[in-house]
Amino acid sequence: MRRLLFLNGIKAFEAAARTGSFASAGVELNVSAAAVSRMVHLLEERLGVALFERKANKLVLTQAGRAYQSGLTPIFDALASLTAQVTAPSSVRVLTIGVGHTFAMRWLIPRLSEFRSEEPDIEVRFTTGGAEAPFGEDWSCGIKLGTGDWPGLVAEPLFAGDLTPVCVPRLANGLKRPADLKGPGLIRVTHSPEDWPIWLKAAGLTRINARGPEFQFYGQALQAAADGLGIAMGIRPYIDDDLAAGRLVAPFDLSVPKGMRWYLLYRSFQTEQRDFAAFRRWIMRTAAEPATRPRRLGRAAGRG
């Protein structure tokens, strides 16, 4: 039997942790900041752990608070999505996809109109689905980067997570060989610190260390590259459309496997559900289509 502990306090804490303040959480929950603070304090007393460090004009999550919030936010997202499905008119066919923000923005959404043209009666909804998010009970399917090991789920490969540097054409003009790369100009992604070392090792450049601007997500790093801030490590399929359009170019021919793939995840019984079956057919077919050949500038080189 589930032991649900002080749901009002849990809701207050999640809102405060996500928004960064009791005041913002109060606006969201339609209560005062003092009420949010009081509910969070009661929750901390019942849990026996501190969730926030209360500093002047600032809330800082403790280690326990960060762990609690990282699990709670996907649960509340899933609850909201499930409620929407239950209250939707019976004529509405809903497909809920757990997918990370960057994958959704850089690959899935630009192609979604193709699926909608084939299945106009299916309403597609996205929910939190980053690498660390658990597979939601309300999800029709998920899309994740990993090694394929998700117990209890079917994992079908979509793309190889291949790595290659990308930048704007202006910067690419000065890159004749990989040895022309300079550490301070190499844009990094916080949660994937291994990307540049993997590629540089494959290029035979063990003395270069990436020391450029750092961003939390691939999408931010690639946007920074598109704005000319430096050279980002691109990963498929995030870079496909930018390369095809010429917004970014790949200066070198060397593409290195990250050691992970993108997978479509689902529970085995969902193959019997016609809406998911239609989406699965579409995404597997679309993912199998060859990416437009990247535009390259200068003399491409694999090593230097």
In what order do the strands lie in the sheet containing 122-128?
122-128, 93-99, 141-146, 256-266, 154-166, 231-235, 186-189, 214-215
The pLDDT confidence band at residue 265, using thresholds 50, 70 and 90, is very high
Q: Percentage of the chain surpassing pLDDT 70?
A: 88
**Token digits of residue 271:** 């193959």
Query: Is the domain 160-260 a CATH 3.40.190.10 member?
Result: yes
Domains 7-87 and 160-260 share a fold: no
Q: Which range is least confidently modeled, 146-155, 158-167, 191-200, 291-300?
A: 291-300
Q: Which residue has the tokens 């290659």?
A: 164
Q: Percentage of the chain surpassing pLDDT 90?
A: 48
Please tell me which residue, 94 or 241, carries the higher pLDDT value. 241
The pLDDT confidence band at residue 2, using thresholds 50, 70 and 90, is low
**For residue 217, what pLDDT is reported?**
86
pLDDT tens digits, one per residue of 91-124: 567 888 998 888 998 999 999 999 999 999 888 9
Q: Which range is least confidently modeled, 31-45, 52-66, 161-175, 277-291?
A: 52-66
User: CATH fold of 93-157+261-288, please?
Assistant: D-Maltodextrin-Binding Protein; domain 2 (3.40.190)
The mean pLDDT value of the chain amounts to 85
Asked if residue 178 has a cis previous peptide bond (ω within 30° of 0), the answer is no
The C-alpha atoms of residue 220 and residue 215 are separated, in whole angstroms, by 6
Please tell me which residue, 37 or 101, carries the higher pLDDT value. 37
Provide the phi-psi class of 110: left if phi over 0, else alpha when psi is between -120 and 50, else beta: alpha
**For residue 135, what pLDDT is reported?**
83
**For residue 272, what pLDDT is reported?**
77
The pLDDT confidence band at residue 304, using thresholds 50, 70 and 90, is very low
The DSSP call for residue 215 is E
pLDDT tens digits, one per residue of 173-184: 888 899 999 988
Q: 145, exposed or middle or buried, with CB in 10 Å at 0-12, 13-18, 19+?
A: buried
Residue 76's identity, in one-letter code, is F
- Domain locations along the chain: 7-87, 93-157+261-288, 160-260
**For residue 296, what pLDDT is reported?**
43
**For residue 301, what pLDDT is reported?**
37
The pLDDT confidence band at residue 293, using thresholds 50, 70 and 90, is very low
User: CATH fold of 7-87, please?
Assistant: Arc Repressor Mutant, subunit A (1.10.10)
DSSP secondary structure string, 152-208?
A: TSEEEEEEEEEEEEEB-HHHHTT-SSGGG--GGGEEEETT-TTHHHHHHHHTT-TT-
**3-state secondary structure (DSSP) of residue 78:** helix
The pLDDT confidence band at residue 294, using thresholds 50, 70 and 90, is very low
Give the mean pLDDT of 17-37. 90
The DSSP call for residue 249 is B
The pLDDT confidence band at residue 149, using thresholds 50, 70 and 90, is confident
The pLDDT confidence band at residue 143, using thresholds 50, 70 and 90, is very high
